Structure 1
Amino acid sequence: MNSRSFCLYIFTAFIFLRCLSSTEAATCHPDDEAGLLAFKAGITRDPSGILSTWKKGTACCSWSGVGCLTNRVTGLQITGDPDVAGSYLSGTISPSLAKLQHLEGFYFTNLRNITGPFPQFLYLLPKLNTVYITDTGLSGPLPANIGALSQLGQLGLNGNRFTGPIPSSISDLTRLFQLNLGNNLLTGTIPFGISKLNLLFSLNLGGNRLSGTIPDIFKSMTKLQSILLSRNGFSGNLPPSIASLRPNLLSIDLSQNKLSGTIPTFLSNFKILDKLDLSRNRFSGVVPTSLANMPKLFHLNLAYNFLTGPVPAVKNVEGIASLDLSYNKFNFKTIPEWATSSRSIYSLKLAKCGINMNFEEWKPVNPHIYFYIDLSENEISGSPVKFLSLARNLFEFQASRNKLRFDIGKLTNLSPRLETLDLSKNLVFGKVPTTLATLKKLNLSHNHLCGKLPATKFQARAFVGNDCLCGSPLPPCKA
């Protein structure tokens, strides 16, 4: 779920809970009670007691997850805890929930052990306007007549196991302002009829097995703020109708596909675009110089393409926040000044970008705000010790396959948040300090390290290829 969709979900759930709290003492209609208890009867396991308050003869409007207006159930929200292993409900969704004839919002989230097909009883609920069935075990095809749910404003079916094509009848859901079918097993192409959903502000089809070209459907969808089509098999060029989204588009993520051609210059007209992710595709040619004219671009990811330089300086006032240009055909020589001078940057990834400089010549404005750095496979020399002592919020530092030369014993003042350090295949020397033993991921292989290793949980591959390291997990030191 992208950030704006999540905010909308939280807002909707907040309204739902307001209704819940204002009516918790109310009795409920006998049909609603019967439908809810039939659902509970279809649950074979409830290890965390999600439905423990659902007891016959008590006011069902006060049951956990049930919201009412007057004495009719209007909202049903059943949510598991993804952070607690073994806490999921098990069972199926009873069709008896069709008795909830005043139901407006249906929210089933984080229920991995709830199985079965798409629930057909939803078609029998005349007031239903919001459906979130996310991160469950539901499977099978989406129904061909899904367009019959024409009263829906929000449809979220992400994180399930739905298969087959996106039904063409989805074009009949003309009241939708949010459509999320991400992270399923859907196949085929995007139906051209989606162009009729001209109220959409959020479209998420990412993480499926969709293919073909991205159809030229966006001319009528001018309210779109977010497009997420990543992790599919789309090919071909970007459709020109994307240019129509200039007034409102905030985020576009087309990563991990097979898209090709050049990056279109019309993107420079997107004055409020915050995120552009075209990584892991087959784009080629130069990065348009007009990209520098995107004043709100904070997150730019063009990694793993066939692009050539130079890359224009992104000139937004607050500076770039996350930048990944790794694994293209760039030859930067130095880390770009416009990234170095950014006061907002927290993630910098420039692996294999032709950087040939001394690390100590790099003077970032705010070293303490970096979370992630990847400078692997360049020609960087010198020492990162001073930077690593200043970067107090750093989670990850990767600089393998460079020419770094320094005494690793000086790495004693690292970020308390550091989890990953990769200095493999450099010219690092000295004795491994105990401060590195607490990391989650470490790779110091193929350097010039020597001496006895401190007690460590890492496997031998983290240390192989050094001059004279010894001690577990390597062979014992000689007496």
Structure 2
Amino acid sequence: MYQSYLQFVFQSPNMQKAFNNPYTYSDWDSKSDCCDWYGVKCDEKTHQIYSLSAANGDLSGPIPPQVGDFPYLQEIDFHNQPNITGPIPFVISKLKNLRFLMITNTGLTGPVPDFLGQMKNLDFISLAFNSLTGTIPRSIGLLPKLGVLRLDHNKLTGPIPDTFGEFKGTDFYLYLSHNQLSGKIPASLGRKDFGYINLSRNRLEGDASFLFGSGKTLQELDLYRNLLEFDLSKVKFPKSLTFMDNGFYSDGNDSPRVPNV
């Protein structure tokens, strides 16, 4: 019965309209097992759908509300979908088992929804290369399993939440570049041992020396094109650091600094 319901959902006009590539989705036929359909993955034992993916222009219009009708869904991967429009729908909050959320390079607008901070199983969030606006919810920093957060290449404003120093995952990826974020980088980020940080091309100001440290495992750090200024001569670099942005210079007094750029 559940399989029949899923097939009904996939065959609904909203889903058919959204997944608008007749060639790619020619196997989305109610007479066949939906677990065999393109972009759909099911658990081998339970036959419940756990993954829904679509790439390279197959979607158009708003994300259909039927996406919220798959209670066992763990992965959503909609990337390179420039014709997706509208905000991130609230129905996604129904997906309590969701672990992986990727909606990138689309026409998404509106805010980063606060309800994402209540989805405790999320370990990967990428909403990069969209047109999202507003501030970043503090609640996202409290997700207990999150290991990757990409909100880069949007139109986000306001400060970096101080809760971002509370991330639990090791070797954490934090990409917030190419936005309009402002204010000081929260000192709480210095307590977290990040693996990769990209805060470049924002309007951040003040000190960022606390992101460094000889005992940390930081591998890449990009702070380029902000309003930061601090004394690099007092910084202890992690031995693991393999990349650092090229926005550093010497002021002629053997005191390297981050310039105001």
* TM-score, L = length of structure 1: 0.50
Q: CA deviation at 1:206?
A: 0.7
The CA deviation at 1:44 is 7.4
Q: 1:217 aligns with which of 162, 166, 188?
A: 188
Q: Deviation at 1:258?
A: 1.6
What is the Cα deviation at residue 272 of structure 1?
1.4
Name the residue aligned to 1:41: 16
1:237, 1:260 within 8 Å by CA — same for their partners in 2? yes
1:156 Cα deviation (Å)?
0.9
- Residue-by-residue CA offset, 1:95-152 (whole Å, 9 max, x unaligned): 1122211111111100000111112122111211111111111110122333111221
Cα distance, 1:179 vs. partner?
Answer: 0.8
Instruction: Identify the residue that residue 158 of structure 1 maps to in structure 2.
Output: 128
TM-fit CA distance, 1:244: 4.4
Superposed counterparts of 1:74-153, under 5 Å:
74-80=50-56, 87-153=57-123
Aligned to 2:31: 57
* 2:176 alignment partner in structure 1: 205
Looking at structure 2, the residues matched to 205 and 244 of structure 1 have their Cα atoms a distance apart, in angstroms, of: 21
**Does the CA-based 8 Å contact 1:139-1:160 persist in structure 2?**
yes
What stretches of structure 2 of length at least 5 have no aligned partner? Answer: none
Helix, strand or coil for the counterpart of 2:229?
A: strand
Structure 1: runs of 5 or more not aligned:
1-26, 81-86, 290-301, 307-479
| Separation in 1, partners of 2:164, 2:84 | 29
- Larger CA Rg, structure 1 vs 2: 1
**Quick check: 1:73 aligned with 2:49?**
yes
Q: 1:287 to 1:202 in 2, by over 3 A?
A: farther
Q: How many residues align?
A: 257
The AA in structure 2 aligned to 1:120 is F
Q: In structure 2, give the amino acid aligned to 1:231.
A: R
- Counterparts of 1:27-426 in structure 2 under 5 Å? 29-38=3-12, 39-43=14-18, 45-46=20-21, 49-69=23-43, 70-80=46-56, 87-199=57-169, 201-222=172-193, 224-240=194-210, 242-244=211-213, 246-268=215-237, 270-279=238-247, 284=251, 286=253, 305=259
Q: Is the 8 A contact 2:220 2:242 kept in 1?
A: yes
Question: What is the CA RMSD across the aligned residues, in angstroms?
Answer: 2.7
Distance 1:130 1:91, change over 3 A: same
**Whole-Å Cα distance in 2 between the matches of residues 29 and 238 of structure 1?**
53
The sequence identity of aligned pairs, in percent, is 31
In the alignment, the residues of structure 2 paired with residue 44 and residue 88 of structure 1 have an alpha-carbon distance, to the nearest angstrom, of 6
